[in-house]
Every structure is written in structure tokens, then in C-alpha cells.
Amino acid sequence: MPLVIAIDGPAASGKGTLAKRLAHHYGLPHLDTGLLYRAVALLMLDAGVSLDDTDQAARTAGRLVADQLADPRLRERAMGEAASRVSSVPGVRAALLSWQRKFAGGEAGAVLDGRDIGTVICPDARVKLFITASPEERARRRHRELAGRGEETTLAAILADIRARDARDSSRSAAPLKAAEDAVRLDTTELDAEEAFAAARAVVDRAREH
């Protein structure tokens, strides 16, 4: 039986790091679904199209190909904010739904992380995790990450961005950010990377035993 691991959570909760480590540990392909929305936003910006043009956003999402997920600009802070805007467009989410489900439908399974994996993309996943942490801790993590890449910003600005994204992602009409009813919630505020990985791995191993 394929092992599909659905990992959801807000920005900078650590879900991406966990997803990559779990994928490596269990020998599964990994998809950071946030990159899909970042890529849509970047393609629109490169084309000089407003992110508020919902029709063009949906068309851009429908033309997305895997090669476009490798652009290093997708990891920049500004792209996270832009992605949050286009991800609220129902047409964008509909266009990317089959893309994500096809990725998850491999023979062995897959690890996907995002905001609606357990609720919309893979509701039948064998393992569902909802990773969270306090906004302040998430802001500190994101600040360290950006500083390590040489991006200049302030902790206060990042915290404001995170709170704004949380509000937008949780209140949008299309696939709002929320934990699936059968997801295991993992708060990583007080956990280091190794402790979070051990806790997540224990959840997956219990599911594999049944």
C-alpha cells in the first residue's frame, strides 16, 4: 500500500524541513506544494501581470511545468507573500489540484507539504501531520533563514508578515489553512530539528504498523 504523508501547517512552522527529512528517511519523493504557488506568482510578475488578475493567475497555473519550480528566486521572502495572494484564487487551486494528486499517486507514495494537503489534496493519506509553532518562534526561524541567505530584514517585519499570512491563509474561501480532523498536531515551538523529526517519524512508524 502506498505511503502518502500529508504535512500541513502555517509559514515557517518547520513543515518543509520535516517533509524533506521524512522523504529521505522513507525513500519517497517530496513535493513542496508552496513552490507551485510561488512559481505562479513569479511567472505573473515576470510577465508584468498584476497578482490581482484572477483569470490570468488561473491560466498561468494551468500552464505550470515542473522545470519552473527550480528558479532560485522562488525562495525569496517576497515570493512567499506573493504566493499567499495567488493561492487564495479558487481557479489557481483548481488548476493545481490534479498536478499535486498525480505526484502523490506514485506506486510507493510520496511526501507533500503545504496548507491543504490533508484536507483537500490527499484526504485519504495514510499519515497526516499538522505542524505548528508560535508566531514569534516562526518569525525567529525565518529571520535566521533569510539572514543566512544574505537577505536584510527585521524580526518585527517578518513577524508582521507571518501574522498577515496566517490571517489570509486561514480565512480564504478556497481550501483555508486548517488541520484535517484525523491529523496529528505537532507543536515544534520548544523542539529542535532532531526532536521534531523524531516525533514526526514516530507518528509515521505507528501508521505503518497498522
Helix (H, G, I), strand (E, B) or coil at 97: helix
To the question of whether residue 60 is assigned a binding role by annotation, the answer is no
To the question of whether residue 105 is assigned a binding role by annotation, the answer is no
To the question of whether residue 16 is assigned a binding role by annotation, the answer is yes
Long-range CB pairs of 149-155, under 8 A, 24+ apart, other chains included: 149/75, 151/76, 151/77, 153/77
How far is 124 from 142, CA to CA, in rounded Å? 31
To the question of whether residue 11 is assigned a binding role by annotation, the answer is yes
To the question of whether residue 48 is assigned a binding role by annotation, the answer is no
To the question of whether residue 148 is assigned a binding role by annotation, the answer is no
Q: Which three cell numbers stand for residue 167?
A: 490571517
| Those residues with Cβ within 8 angstroms of residue 163's Cβ, 6 or more apart along the chain or in another chain | 135
To the question of whether residue 9 is assigned a binding role by annotation, the answer is yes
Which residues are documented as binding site? 9-17
Which residues are documented as binding site for ATP? 9-17
